[in-house]
Structure 1
Amino acid sequence: MQKFVTVVGGINVDLTGSPHQPLVLATSNPGETSLSVGGVGRNIAHNLALLGVPTTLLSAVGDDAFGVYALDITRQAGVNIEYVLKQAGQRTGTYLSVLNFEHDLVVAIADMAATRGVSASYLAQHERILTESALIAADANLEEETLTYLCNLCETRRIPLLIEPVSVEKSKKLHRMNAKATYLTPNRDELHAMTGRDDADLAAQCACLRDQFDHIFVTLGEQGVYYCQSYPAIPTTVVNANGAGDALVAGLICGLFHEKPLSDSIRLGIAAAHIALQSPETVNPELSFSRIQGM
């Protein structure tokens, strides 16, 4: 039986605006807008497929044009979307973001109500897919009940589970519910929110969560990744920062899937993020395993 990764998380359509000059708040700014498919879980799955990792996505969309568009793009990337839930009367999630002149995120609004369809009962219906997975990745857009079900299943069946916290508020949920998983990929702010410590000692902060997560990879933006030591980022001319973190997680999972050492897997993640940053799209279609191996 072919090994594969299952990703559990959100699908949405990304609407992004970037100004032609330094951003001025509370008024209209000349600039450009773009439309692409997003969602943390979906982005990770899309990146994994581009990296040649067989990937199944468990997620939910509405019965609208955005849902059709999102699934078409994801299918074309090579992701197995057979089990994605299509919800009648529901709108597909949208993520509206505004970037500044340096192409960094200023503010975003996430309408992720459709993701509630990814419930514990929905996952129970697809337990066979989950238990046959070589690794499961989940984003913290999921409800607590869903995450609890997933954590318990993976612990019982000894399936490696990676959780991407997504945001500061959602990372607090993981700490509150005492979620347990093999891997966690917080950024610095999410790590602070989970530990209650606002200091520079990343090793000490990670140690606070060691009873919940076996391996904690702290993503540090242009400073790279921290895991027991610092792994520097690759200098990059940034076109669009959206989706770089999702690409990093996918590169990391790609290394784990191929049973590479953790240090090599981290470097694959950093290389994937480097490629993602160079594209105006949330997922860079030029991403490939051969490209990240050569960096």
Structure 2
Amino acid sequence: MTHRGTIKQSYGGVGRNLGDALARLHCRPFLISAVGDDNYARALTNHNPLLERRGLKVVKDASTAVYCVVLDQLGEALFGVGDMTIHDYITPTHVRQFEGEISKSPLVVVDGNLPQLTINYILDLCASCHVPVWYEPTDIQKVTKPWLGGRGDNVTFTSPNMNELGALCSHLGLEVPTIPGKYEDLPQMLQQVLTTASPLLHTMHALMVTLGPYGFMILRRASPNTMDDPLLPVTDICPITVTHDEVVGLHFPGPQNPKIISVSGAGDCLAAGFIAGMLNKKSVSECGALGRSAAKLSLAASPAVPHTLSPDALPWGHHEVFTTINRS
């Protein structure tokens, strides 16, 4: 049976989206990945001339990763099918060629689609070089990879959604937070996330939990006077020295009545905007404003990373209002 619909092709992949978005925000990312020797790869590599290509491994007789997602009339994802075999070629041997670039980085972003051995290698390398790591889980089946490899303590930042956080908490034997059924349940859910995820802050410096239409939450150890302080640079890489500061949550609400064409890529643009602020040593509230604006641009466009994303399109210097969540 054939169902009527509209078919569009755009560029995607969590790691690629982040690289694309950070390049558009003039953060000069160095993307390490693998592509096939095909037309998809040539289109992908020519798509954004600002994105460094030296880290890309071209594999003959292999297919560039392709993901097909079916969206409903509201732009929400129903399901997806992915051909991701090319990721197996992102091996420790390939990554090892770029140890110099990694060791000098202010932040390394690791995509959960990488093979387990490669994730282990990168986390070991970053720990030895005192480079902070932001782990992007990508889905509930991959959120636990650093912990499965015994390297969870080497994750400095991570950004799960509620389902991914639940999978990680379940794996670690922590209480699993519940997703609110209506807006009135949001305060209780935020309090539950803070209580449940607090043990992760024994080693991590901060945790971003994305909440869909409810916005996102930043968890960190801080005093009332330091909760909005910049997250970078990190002076002591995990495991951190646990201070007397309490774990606090900073809740940034979702945009009101946003224009939604597609939700695909909005989370990646949120993370990229937030990371761009971190790299520029901005406060958490400034990073929140940048991430929120980048996500809105993505929601209003079909491509995961819209052409409209640029430094000039974001509200640099604006402090997004947040609600502080403390442990009861």
Please say whether Structure 1 and Structure 2 have the same fold, judged by a TM-score greater than 0.5: yes
Give SS of 1:33's match: coil
Could you tell me which amino acid in structure 1 is paired with residue 31 of structure 2? L
SS at match of 1:169: coil
Of 126-135 and 205-214, deviating more is 205-214
The corresponding residue for 1:281 is 303
Q: Which runs of 5+ in 1 are unaligned?
A: 1-26
Take 1:100 and 1:172, find their aligned partners in 2: how far apart are those partners? 29
Give the superposition deviation at 1:209: 2.0
**Aligned-residue offset at 1:51:** 1.1
Q: Match of 2:47?
A: 73
Q: Hey, what does 2:129 align to over in structure 1?
A: 157
Residue 20 (structure 2) pairs with residue 46 (structure 1): yes
Q: Is the 8 A contact 2:120 2:146 kept in 1?
A: no
Q: CA separation in 2, counterparts of 1:102 and 1:174?
A: 34
Determine if contact 1:195/1:208 at 8 Å carries over to the other structure.
no
2:141 match: secondary structure: helix
Higher Cα Rg: structure 1 or 2? 2
Give the Cα–Cα distance (whole angstroms) in 1 for the partners of residues 310 and 122 of structure 2: 29
Offset at residue 28 of structure 1 (A): 2.7
How far did 1:135 drift? 1.3
Comparing 168-177 and 40-49, the one that deviates more: 168-177
Q: What is the match of residue 204 of structure 1? A: 195
Counterpart CA distance in 2 for 1:194 and 1:177 is 14
5 Å-filtered alignment, 1:196-275, equals 196=170, 197-199=175-177, 200=189, 201-227=192-218, 228-235=249-256, 236-275=258-297
How many matched pairs? 267
Where does 1:79-94 land on structure 2 (aligned, <5 Å)?
A: 79-94=51-66
Displacement of 1:205 in angstroms is: 2.3
- TM-superposed CA distance for 1:289, in Å, is 1.7
Counterpart among 173, 182, 194 of residue 156 in structure 2: 182
Equivalent position SS for 1:280: coil
Mapping 1:127-146, distance limit 5 Å: 127-146=99-118
Q: Indicate the SS of the match to 1:80.
A: coil
Deviation at 1:174, TM superposition (A): 3.2
Q: Distance in 1 between matches of 2:146 and 2:164?
A: 10
User: Counterpart of 2:309 in structure 1: which amino acid?
Assistant: L
1:265 deviates by 1.3
Q: How far off is 1:262 after superposition?
A: 2.3
Q: Give yes or no for the alignment of 1:118 onto 2:90.
A: yes
Query: What TM-score results when the alignment is normalised by the length of structure 1?
Result: 0.87
Query: Secondary structure of the equivalent of 2:157?
Result: strand
Alignment TM-score, normalising by the size of structure 2: 0.78
Q: Partner of 2:243 in structure 1?
A: none
Shift in Å at residue 264 of structure 1?
1.8
CA distance in 1, matches of 2:271, 2:2: 35
Question: Whose strand fraction is larger, Structure 1's or Structure 2's?
Answer: 1
**Percent of matched pairs sharing the same residue:** 27
Letter aligned with residue 172 of structure 1: T
The answer to whether residue 119 in structure 2 is matched with residue 147 in structure 1 is: yes
Shift of 1:212: 4.5
1:123 Cα offset (Å):
0.9
1:3 alignment counterpart? none
SS in 1 for 2:27: coil
Instruction: For residue 52 of structure 1, report the CA deviation from its aligned partner.
Output: 1.6
Letter in 1 for 2:27: V
Q: Determine if contact 1:184/1:217 at 8 Å carries over to the other structure.
A: yes
Tell me, what secondary structure is at the counterpart of 2:40? helix
CA distance in 2 between partners of 1:193 and 1:39 (Å): 21
* Structure 1 position 266, deviation (Å): 2.4
Asked if the contact 2:146–2:155 (Cα under 8 Å) also holds between the matched residues in 1, the reply is no
Q: Distance in 2 between matches of 1:259 and 1:97?
A: 35
Aligned-partner Cα distance in 2 for 1:237–1:259: 30
Alignment gaps of 5+ in structure 2: 178-188, 219-248, 319-328
Cα deviations by residue, 1:110-143 (Å, 9 ceiling, x for unpaired): 1111111111111111111111212111110011
Compute the displacement of 1:172 (Å).
2.8
Q: Which amino acid aligns with 1:214?
A: H
Q: Which residue identity is paired with 2:250?
A: Q
Whole-Å Cα distance in 2 between the matches of residues 51 and 35 of structure 1? 23
